Structure 1
């Protein structure tokens, strides 16, 4: 794996691993790397890991592990707050089920998706914290600041703050849908040289 410059595999904590590929990774190289990562994860963690696919759905991600949870959303965008909640709850449930369980976050594209999940889980685990998660939060914060902040999108950073506010109770969600019925424009803008 070390010979590949496209793959980035990082142990964020002892139990949270990030596997990231650039969106321009060649398919042949990507598939080869997936097989190598699968072999490494299997030899080190057996079947005690769950893969969270943060990229758009891909069949070949199942090569990493038969149990893949697809939580993906389009690159350079932010997921719905409900999706962030679901990811954090699923991570927390798996990690608390057994001390040897490991979460693998898979991402093909911009690392901002990893940043959203890691930062959101930092806030989430702070609420549902156990004593040994304090060091994990420090490691997650370092990963987020060193590897993700330079490539994160403003909307992704904003949604992390929204999620944190939801957890702390400082932000309330409106659970009733809002509908836009019409738009009124007073005067038509001059889009063409001949007039609006």
Structure 2
């Protein structure tokens, strides 16, 4: 982690040094002298950063020349171009404890900026192999990796016939995710032609070639950090995976999303529940088995709505024989956001509802001056109750002067809600980072949402 941060700081110094030099050539004499002095200071900082990098890498470093001429947001290495935007993304705070599976943060007091233009060249001390291994390890820090027989992959056997893994990547992304060539080699060497890959990524629907994995892959996509929509996607996946496993005792199922934790955990937990109804009798046990097998801390599926949908599938198995229950339309009567408000000024909160992936309600068009607020929260009372059915995503936003901010969201299914009259969720059952009661958030930690329906 420290090595990556240091490398990024080196890039920042190069950026600022280049900016100083460019400015010096375009301005008046007095400004030029000031910029030259600044550039010299940058040179000293650059030398210190290089020394720090060398000290951190110790005796593991080797010489590699980074050609930084006109590469924009990338670094050209002997192994190809590394996109600095991607590195910055995997180091970002927003990736913490998410389906991106980056379980570390860059310290707030020592941020790593994103360089935008690099126009110099520099020989940087870095060990290619150790740096890439370190980067991949950081991206999957709390997930169990397969480190045997010459492989080092973000891949875990949940059972002998069920594999969860991170995205098989190519190009620059392979430097910190699973290299697709290595994944293909692993599956062919370990399982021959007896495997089928299930890609859950809506954002990455295709591989670099349709001939990858001999075409032995299928797609069941849904969005990162969200529940599977529609829920029939889970049932279709279970049927396909179960059928494939029953075809041959040698067959194995390989499931991945981007990080192989959140979305993958939903589908794998549901499959575990279906394959072993005696050993894994309920959703809680299925989630526990996946979490313990996939991670070192037992935290597999952590997004509340994703967990909720595993419980929904458990109910489908118990109460509906594994079949999709009949669709049940409901009418939305009232929404109560029950919480103390931190802000003393005007707080403009609104919500949206997506029905089966399509926007159905935007409260800004319904409550012009009609929104009720008291010190305990907000009340949305509908004069004409809208009818909803299927998979619903409720998203709550705060409207600022220049931008809108997503506060939290959650998913429910109208056919599988245990209580059709009042659906209540507390803070820990809501999705989204701003529901965690951090300083600066609109709501305090006593946040709860009550959705009241009528038939």
Q: Normalized against structure 1, the TM-score is what?
A: 0.75
Q: Given the alignment, which residue of 173, 191, 195 partners 2:325? A: 173
Point out the structure with the larger helix share.
1
After TM superposition, the structure 1 stretch with the greater mean CA deviation from structure 2, 104-113 or 54-63, is 54-63
> Partners of 1:18 and 1:42 in 2: how far apart?
16
Is 1:75 the counterpart of 2:224? The answer is yes
Kept in 2, the 8 Å contact 1:51–1:65? The answer is no
The answer (yes or no) to whether the contact 1:38–1:65 under 8 Å persists in 2 is no
Partner residue of 2:356? none
If asked which structure has higher relative contact order (CA below 8 Å, sep 6+), I would say 1
Shift of 1:44: 1.3
What is the aligned residue count?
186
Partner SS state of residue 47, structure 1: coil
Gaps of 5+ in 2: 1-131, 140-152, 333-359, 373-398, 401-455
Asked if 1:96 is matched to 2:246, the reply is yes
C-alpha distance after superposition, 1:81-129 (max 9, x if no partner)? 20011111111100111100111112214611111011111221235x7
Contact 2:168-2:180 within 8 A present in 1 as well? no
Residue 370 of structure 2 is aligned to residue 188 of structure 1: yes
SS of 1:163's partner is helix
TM-score (norm 2): 0.35
1:41 aligned onto 2:187: yes
Unaligned regions of 5+ residues in structure 1, if any?
Answer: none
Name 1:13's counterpart in structure 2: 159
The alignment yields a C-alpha RMSD, in angstroms, of 4.0
- Report the Cα distance in structure 2 between the residues aligned to 1:152 and 1:100, rounded to whole angstroms: 32
TM superposition outliers: structure 1 runs of 4+ over 6 Å: 137-140, 178-184
2:166, 2:177 within 8 Å by CA — same for their partners in 1? no
Q: How far apart are residue 22 of structure 1 and its match?
A: 10
- Quick check: 1:116–1:160 contact (8 Å CA) kept in 2? yes
- Equivalent position SS for 1:11: strand
Higher Rg: 2
Q: Quick one: structure 1 residues 151 and 140, their matched pair in 2 at CA, closer, same or farther if it must change by over 3 Å?
A: closer
Distance change in 2, residues 1:32/1:22 (3 Å): closer
Q: Larger % of strand: which?
A: 2
Q: Which moved more, 1:146-155 or 1:35-44?
A: 146-155
Post-superposition offset of 1:26: 4.4
